[in-house]
Amino acid sequence: MTKIHRQTAGNQFNKTKPLFKLSFAVLFVLSLLSCESQQEAGNPNQQLAQTAQQTTQDVNEAQSVKHEFFTILALGDSLTEGLGVKQDGNYPALLQQALHQQGYPQVKVINSGLSGETSSGLKNRLDWVLQLKPDLTILNIGANDAMRGLPLKLTTDNINNIIERIQAANSQVVLAGMQIYDNLGQEYVVGFKDMYPKLAKQHDLLMIPFFLEHVAGDPKLNQADMIHPTAAGYEIIVERNVLPTVLPLIKPLNN
């Protein structure tokens, strides 16, 4: 596929009013830690085992029909997995539906999101999921790193490594930016926000400036935790943030 130079979708978040207040940020931290604690308190391997089973199934299916499908791999954390919504209400499922409606039935979007995932965790499981041999990968990772206050250099180095390995597997990358408002200090907040466009520029990637644009902070579009979008929220994310970025890469399929 012809390489398309870096571009953005939607309005830059820094041109809008901040959508998170400090109280939301504190809730964000507590909720994410709560999600992880609940997983660990039950069966620490259950979530990963379920993802492993699904990925194995997806690998087998993808290998058997590779000649028929253009495969998009959605990599990330709970925002990709779709925590709290039905399987057909997460963004990868809605993106596939939207692309089919746009006239691209040959596109298959595979959800490889894992709740609580950090950039280090994704880095460690990357070779496994790349067995899917995706044509395009949408990468949304880093929010849980920020929630844990991990050093920005660690997160940056991990994402840089992830991007390089995805590209080495002959998959194009769309990078989804994230932003955070919390008590880690202005320097960390700004550094985290700027990390994504810097990586996109470094690797000449298409980028979604802020994955949660138009949805973050809106109680009508988020679940009770004010962190994870509802199915309606994901519909907006796909329609206004993801689809405009991905569609130019898909259009050549019907030429």
| Per-position DSSP letters for 126-164, written without gaps between them | HHHHGGG--SEEEEE--HHHHHTT--HHHHHHHHHHHHH
pLDDT at 123: 98
Query: Is residue 45's pLDDT more than 80?
Result: no
Give catalytic status of residue 34 as yes or no.
no
Most confident of 25-39, 91-105, 173-187: 91-105
The domains found in the chain, sorted by start residue, are 18-39+46-59+68-248 (3.40.50.1110)
Q: What is the pLDDT of residue 14?
A: 38
Tens digits of residue pLDDT in 117-133: 999 999 999 999 999 99
pLDDT mean over 15-31: 37
Contact yes or no for 107/69 (Cβ under 8 A): yes
Q: Is 225 a catalytic residue?
A: yes
Averaged pLDDT, 182-200? 94
- pLDDT higher than threshold 80 for residue 38: no
pLDDT exceeds 60 at position 47: no
**Which one, of 20, 84, 25, lies nearest residue 217 by Cα?**
20
Amino acid 98: pLDDT: 98
Distance CA 21, CA 218 (A): 12
Indicate which residue of 58, 119, 214, 228 is catalytic. 228
With a pLDDT cut of 70, the percent of the chain lying above it is 74
Residue 219 CA from chain centroid, whole number: 21
Mean of the pLDDT values across residues 194-205?
Answer: 99
Out of 25-29, 76-80, 117-121, least confident range: 25-29
Measured between alpha carbons, how far apart are the two ends of the chain, in Å?
12
Catalytic residue from among 58, 77, 78, 214 = 78
Question: Quick check: is 157 catalytic?
Answer: no
Most confident range (mean pLDDT) of 4-8, 18-22, 52-56, 163-167 is 163-167
* pLDDT given for residue 55 in this prediction: 55
pLDDT tens profile 119-170: 999 999 999 999 999 999 999 999 999 999 999 999 999 999 999 999 999 9
**58, pLDDT greater than 70:** no
171 has pLDDT over 70? yes
Write down the pLDDT at residue 86.
97
Of residues 157, 194, 218, 225, which has the active-site annotation? 225
The vertex-98 CA angle with 93 and 103, nearest 5°, equals: 130
